[in-house]
Amino acid sequence: MRSKLRLRVLLPVAILALMGVGFGAFGFTGAPGGEDALPALQRPAQTAAPAGVKRSAWARKANAICRSLNAETAQLGTPQSRNELIQLLPRSVSLAQAALGELRALPAPKRDAKRIARMLRQFDRFLALETQAAAALGANDSESFARLTAQAFAANDRGNHIARTLGATRCSVGGTDDTDLGRELEGHRIVVAVLYSPNASVDALAIREARSGANEAGAGFVAIDVYDAQEIAPVAAEYAVRGAPAVLVVVRGRGAVTQFNGWVDSETVAQAVDNARV
């Protein structure tokens, strides 16, 4: 499910993540944290379904709950700084927890009960991990924040997949398979991706130079806002990027073949693209 604390490249709207809440991905300071136990969540018992409850009826009600959550999450606005992100995360999580409780209370069709339960467990895990990620962000532990966010979205993706098979499409929007980088790679074999923080002037320079270099070399280009969790989660999971700006040269089917930490000039970017063609 997706979220909507979106700056520009990484968080769309859908359930915070029921879910993909509007969380950023990098805090840029701190050291890795330990693997703490996930916090306990309130889990209302799933209601037994009256005889004859159909999947279509369950899906219609589930979609209504997720549609409402998407709208509420969108109203929170877009975080423009790390401090705003810290303030908005708990509110987003709270909205998603309430929606998850409503989903759990829906009578489940007997033949789908086990799959619905698995879906809800994945969304539970998403929220538990995002709760830990929010705490890590508040403690300036960016390594743990990035790691936990990546784990959270992996659980979210699993829940989204189940939701789609059940017809609850409003509860399956905005996973990590729906990113600007992924779409750009569909049209270009090589893509230059720049990770940026919206309030940093040097990051604006990094975007300008990276875009110019990509254009010069005939590559695709995407700018990823580090406060956009949906986009940043798969990047954080796969690459050791822990600061902004950063520039990646990504090849379809191979991943990032070149990584620059900090801004680089357009000529260097274009040369890196040419090297990636070899």
Task: Compute the average pLDDT of residues 50-78.
Answer: 87
Nearest of 17, 40, 48, 54 to residue 117 by alpha carbon: 48
Answer positive or negative: Cα dihedral of 118, 123, 124, 129. Answer: positive
pLDDT at 57: 96
Q: Domains of the chain (ranges plus CATH)?
A: 1-174 (1.20.120), 180-276 (3.40.30.10)
Answer positive or negative: Cα dihedral of 131, 87, 222, 208. Answer: negative
Residue 41 predicted with pLDDT over 50: no
Cα separation, 229 vs 226, in Å, equals 7
Task: Compute the average pLDDT of residues 195-212.
Answer: 86
pTM over 0.85: no
DSSP 8-state class, residue 39: P
Mean pLDDT of the chain: 78
Model confidence pLDDT, tens digit, residues 238-275? 776 667 788 999 999 888 899 998 889 999 999 999 99
Q: Is the peptide bond before 32 cis (omega within 30 degrees of 0)?
A: no
pLDDT at 27: 26
The token pair that represents 184 in the structure block:
């750009």
Nearest of 228, 220, 222, 123 to residue 168 by alpha carbon: 123
Beta bridge partners of 225: 196
The token pair that represents 117 in the structure block:
């339960």
pLDDT at 230: 66
pLDDT at 88: 84
pLDDT at 9: 24
pLDDT at 4: 30
Task: Compute the average pLDDT of residues 160-164.
Answer: 95
Answer positive or negative: Cα dihedral of 201, 206, 211, 212. Answer: positive
Print burial letters for 159-197: b (CB count within 10 Å at least 16), e (below 16).
bbebbeebbbebbbbbbbebbbbeebbeebebbbbbbbb
Model confidence pLDDT, tens digit, residues 105-158? 999 999 999 999 999 999 999 999 989 988 888 888 867 877 788 788 889 889
pLDDT at 24: 29
